[in-house]
């Protein structure tokens, strides 16, 4: 759900690959969109549609897909709610 988290996936994978035998890694779900912060992407994070994702691309080299840019952002089709994702991550 976080553009910067998406952008740094390659970096985090490289760090994990290099240090997984010496460092204990743990995924922590921060709850990006909970309760009153949950909602459709353009309503709760209008900066994404305004082009913030372009800064992530420029900084990290990762590209957001056409579906994200031309459907999710243009049609406001993504409902952001971390509640169930956080529960699922805890269960796993």
pTM: 0.73
Pairing, β 39-40 against β 79-80: antiparallel
Q: Taking all residues of the chain, what is their mean pLDDT, rounded to a whole number? A: 89
As a whole-number percent, the residues of the chain with pLDDT over 90 amount to 55
The dihedral sign for the CA sequence 31, 35, 40, 42? negative
For residues 43-68, give the mean pLDDT: 92
- What does the pLDDT look like over 20-29, one tens digit per residue? 999 998 877 6
Q: Which two tokens stand for residue 80?
A: 């952001």
Q: In degrees, to the nearest 5, what angle opens at C-alpha 3 toward C-alphas 70 and 15? A: 130
Distance CA 57, CA 84 (A): 28
């Amino acid at each position: 759900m976080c553009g910067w988290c998406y952008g740094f996936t390659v970096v985090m994978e490289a760090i994990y690959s290099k240090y997984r035998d010496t460092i204990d890694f743990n995924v922590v779900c921060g709850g990006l969109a909970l309760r009153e912060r949950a909602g459709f992407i353009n309503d709760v994070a209008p900066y994404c549609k305004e082009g913030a994702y372009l800064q992530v691309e420029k900084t990290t080299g990762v590209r957001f897909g056409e579906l994200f840019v031309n459907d999710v952002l243009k049609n406001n089709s993504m409902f952001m709610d971390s509640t169930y994702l956080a529960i699922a991550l805890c269960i796993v």
